[in-house]
Amino acid sequence: MLELKSVSSGILKNISLKIGGLCFAISGPSGSGKTTLLNTIAGNRPYSGEIRYNGESIDRLEPWKRGFRYLNQRLYLFPFLTLDGNLALAQYAAGKKQDKAERRRLLSAFEIGHLGDRKPLFVSGGEQQRAALARSIIGNPRLLLLDEPFANLDRSLKIRLWEKIKEIKKSVPVILVSHDPEEIQVLADECAYIQDGVLGGEK
C-alpha cells in the first residue's frame, strides 16, 4: 500500500491518495503533473507532505533506498554495456547476486534472449524498450513506476508488452502514467485523473 498525504511539489497541489491495487493508472493532459507525481514518489524531487509505503514513512529515504524502479521513454540504458551487462549492473545495484541464468531467462521472456551480448545502439528501439523493462524488474523492486514507456511503439509490440505487464503486476505493484485509454483499460485495476496538479478523483 502506497499512501500520499497532502503532498505538494512543483505543480502538484496537496495530493492525497491511497494506492493498493496491482496496477494503478494516472491519466490527464500534458503538463498536468503526472510525471512530477511519479518523480516525487520515486524521491527524485523535494516535496512537502508525507509518503508512506506499507505503513512506514519513506520521506527520509534516498531514491535508491526506496526500492522503487522508474521507467520512462528515455530508458537510460548504459550504451557502453551489453543488454546483459545492463541487467547485471541492476542486479549489483539492488544488492542481488550475479545470476547470469536469471538475466538470460528474463531477456528470453521479453523475446530478446538472443541479443544479450549486443549493446543498445545495435538493437532496435523496441528491443531497447524490452531490455529496459527487464532491467527494471530484475532487482525485484517493491514498486514499478511506468511513465508512458510504450507511447512510441507500434501497436503489435505494445500489446505483447501489455501482456508482460499483466504478468509482472501479479508480483510487483505498478503505477502507470498513460494517455492511452485502451492501455489503461487493459492494465489498470484502479485509475485517477490529474489536471493542473490537482487530483480529480478516481474514474
Residue 72 located in a structural domain: no
Residue 151 pLDDT grade (very low, low, confident, very high; cuts 50, 70, 90) = confident
Rg (CA), the chain: 17
Maximum C-alpha span of the chain? 47
Q: Looking at the structure, do residues 152 and 94 belong to the same domain, yes or no?
A: no
- What value does the mean pLDDT of the chain take? 92
Of 141, 161, 181, the last residue of a domain is 141
Position 110 pLDDT exceeds 80: yes
Q: Looking at the structure, do residues 44 and 91 belong to the same domain, yes or no?
A: no
Q: What are phi and psi of 95, to 5 degrees?
A: 75, 20
More confident residue, 20 or 162: 162
Q: How many helices (H) and strands (E) does the chain have?
A: 6, 10
List, in order, residues 6 or more apart from 79 with CB less than 8 Å away.
119, 120, 121
Of 141, 169, 186, the last residue of a domain is 141
Does the predicted TM-score (pTM) go above 0.85? yes
Of 126, 141, 156, the last residue of a domain is 141
Model confidence pLDDT, tens digit, residues 26-67? 999 989 999 999 999 999 999 999 999 999 999 999 998 999
Rounded Cα distance, 15 and 34, in Å = 12
Closest to 69 in 3D by CA, of 47, 46, 86: 86
Q: Looking at the structure, do residues 154 and 196 belong to the same domain, yes or no?
A: yes
Q: What is the tally of structural domains in the chain?
A: 2
By residue range, what is the domain housing residue 119? 78-141
**Mean pLDDT, rounded, for 17-24:** 88
Rounded Cα distance, 107 and 132, in Å = 10
Q: Looking at the structure, do residues 148 and 137 belong to the same domain, yes or no?
A: no
Q: What are phi and psi of 161, to 5 degrees?
A: -70, -35
Q: What is the pLDDT of residue 200?
A: 77
Which residues in the chain belong to E strands, given as ranges?
2-9, 12-19, 23-27, 48-53, 56-57, 68-72, 143-147, 174-177, 190-195, 198-202
**Mean pLDDT, rounded, for 5-30:** 92
Q: Looking at the structure, do residues 159 and 98 belong to the same domain, yes or no?
A: no
